[in-house]
Amino acid sequence: MADLFSVLLGIALLVAGRRLFWLLIGVLGFVTGLQLASLIPNISQTTAIIVGLIIGVTFALLAIFLQRLAVSIAGFLAGGFILTTLAGRLGIGNVTFPWALYIIGGIIGVILVMLLFDWALIVLSSIAGAALILRSFSTQTVAGGIIFLLLVLIGIVIQGFVPDRLRRRRIRR
C-alpha cells in the first residue's frame, strides 16, 4: 500500500510538480517527517507515518498561504532529500554526520529555487518524483540509475515543454 502511494505521488510530481507546488512541498515534508521519525529509536511505523503526515500537511498549508517562503522551503527539502537519496544509492549514506549531507543538499536546493524559480521547481519535482517512484522498487543496479534518469527527463519534458507547445497551438487558432 505504501509503495503504491509512493508511486502515485511520484507520478503526480513528475507530471505536475510545478503547477501543484503545494503538493511538492507537502510530499517533501511528509518524506522529511518520515526520515526524522526514523531517527527516533523504537518508533512504530504508524507513529512515523503520523509524524510525516503532520509535517507534510503543515508544509502544504504554508505553501498555499506563504508561497515565496514555501518555495524556498521546498528547495531546501527537495535538495536535502535528493542528496541523501543519491548518497544512499552510492553507498555513502552512512557517513558520520548524515544531516550535514541533508543541509548541504538543502542549501543547494534553495539556491537553485532562487536563481531559476520555474525550472528549479520542474527539475526538483521531477527528481523527487523519480526518487519516490524508485523507492518502491529494488533498483540498486545500474538499470535503476538509468530508469531514474529517464523518469527525471520525462518529468522535465512533460512539465517544461509540453505545456508551452499546447499554449502556442491555442494562440495560433
Q: Where are the alpha helices (DSSP H) in the chain?
A: 2-16, 21-38, 45-65, 67-89, 98-115, 117-135, 142-160, 162-172
Crossing angle of helices 45-65 and 67-89, in 10° steps, is: 140
pLDDT in tens, the chain (173 residues): 567 777 888 888 888 877 777 888 888 888 888 888 888 888 888 888 898 889 989 988 888 888 778 778 888 988 998 888 888 777 776 666 778 888 999 999 998 888 887 887 888 889 988 988 888 776 667 777 888 899 999 999 998 887 665 555 555 55
- Which domain covers residue 163, as residue numbers? 2-172
The backbone torsions φ and ψ at residue 124, rounded to the nearest 5 degrees and listed phi first, read: -65, -40
Task: Say what the pLDDT of residue 139 is.
Answer: 62
Cβ neighbours for 67, distance < 8 A, ≥ 6 positions apart: 21
For the full predicted model, state whether its pTM sits above 0.75: no
Q: How far is CA 63 from the centre of its chain?
A: 14
- Number of domains comprising the chain: 1
Residue the block writes with cell 538499470: 143
CA–CA separation, 88 vs 49, rounded Å? 21
Task: Say what the pLDDT of residue 162 is.
Answer: 76
Q: Please give the grid coordinates belonging to residue 168.
A: 502556442
